[in-house]
Amino acid sequence: MIGEKTVIITGMVDKEKLVKKARNYLLDLLPVAGQIARRYLHAEELPSKKKGVHDFVTAADLAVDKFLKENLNKEFSVIPILSEETFDGDFKKYTNKDLLFIIDPLDGTSNFARGDDNFCISVGLVERGEPLLGVIFSPISSRLFWATYRDIKAFWNGRSIKVSDIKELDKAVVCTDWSHVMETREETTQFLRKIYSKVRQIKILGSAATDLTLLARGGVDIYHHVRLFPWDVAAAGLIAQKAGAKVTEINGNEWNVFSKSILASNPILHKKLLKL
């Protein structure tokens, strides 16, 4: 953990120091947050409440969220926090923040609530929408992923990782997911109609952040998602990029953490996908 209170000063050198300190702090903090999530995982009855038609929040989300915010505020008091669980509905106030922590206390809540271990804790540090740091921890498998804007690699439990080198669509494994927003689900359906006969396999696993780390370590070859939120990808998008993925919006436009969609794969597959 960081022993001294972080001071923010403008300038490249200070930004690099800040990112390094935040990385080290989060590499210690997220496994502790993971212990909180594990205590809730197999609870006999897990209290939850609805956030929307297809979205809900559990007591575990709230407990991890509280823990992360308390510790980040204590160590980095001048950096604001955007959290899924306390978001006020106005993204405009966050898009141009010089520095911003974006946290998802449990990405994959539906999986978690059913005892499925495909969920994670995700924290990103961004600068006006561009990711500077991403750290993701999967509490059940103890997989810890991270990358910074200065790295030339992404890391998984201390070793570097990279995306697959699959070049042909008919050998590619695609991972996608359904949006919580019903109006946009048809876009995913259209995508699946276009590619289902051209690829080897399609998976829907239920956690954008863990799915992108799976892409980053070569477990799948393509990741596609419509109608995302910043907490889904603030950390994972950077990790995928540093693992060698080409990451854009689904129409090929430049991606940042506030983009509404994501298309990620190695550069060769990415070109072929855009042609579709």
Residue 3 lies inside a defined structural domain of this protein = no
Residue 133 lies inside a defined structural domain of this protein = yes
Residue 246 one-letter amino acid: K
Q: What CATH number is associated with residue 143?
A: 3.30.540.10
Domain membership of residue 115 as a residue range: 12-161
Last residue of a domain, one of 119, 136, 161: 161
Give me the helices (H) in 136-250, please.
Answer: 185-195, 208-216, 230-233, 236-242
Which tokens is 1 given?
Answer: 């953990």
* Residue 245 pLDDT: 98
Residue with tokens 């106005």: 90
Residue 186 lies inside a defined structural domain of this protein = yes
Mean pLDDT by 10 residues, the chain (276 residues): 44 80 98 94 56 57 95 97 89 94 94 91 97 98 97 97 97 87 72 88 95 98 93 97 97 96 97 91
Residue 34 lies inside a defined structural domain of this protein = yes
* Residue 178 pLDDT: 75
Q: What CATH number is associated with residue 253?
A: 3.40.190.80
Same domain, 113 and 185: no
Residue 102 lies inside a defined structural domain of this protein = yes
Last residue of a domain, one of 100, 131, 161: 161
* Residue 41 pLDDT: 84
* Residue 4 pLDDT: 45
Q: Helices (H) and strands (E) in the chain — how many of each?
A: 8, 14
Same domain, 23 and 138: yes
Residue 27 one-letter amino acid: L
* Residue 113 pLDDT: 85
User: Phi and psi (nearest 5°) for 166?
Assistant: -60, 130
Decide: residue 239, CB within 10 A, 0-12 exposed, 13-18 middle, 19+ buried: buried
**Are 25 and 82 within 8 A, CB to CB?**
no
- 231-244 per-position pLDDT tens digit: 999 999 999 999 99
* CB neighbourhood size of 30 (10 A): 25
> Looking at the DSSP assignment, which residues form a beta bridge with residue 183?
none
Number of domains in the chain: 2
Same domain, 125 and 147: yes
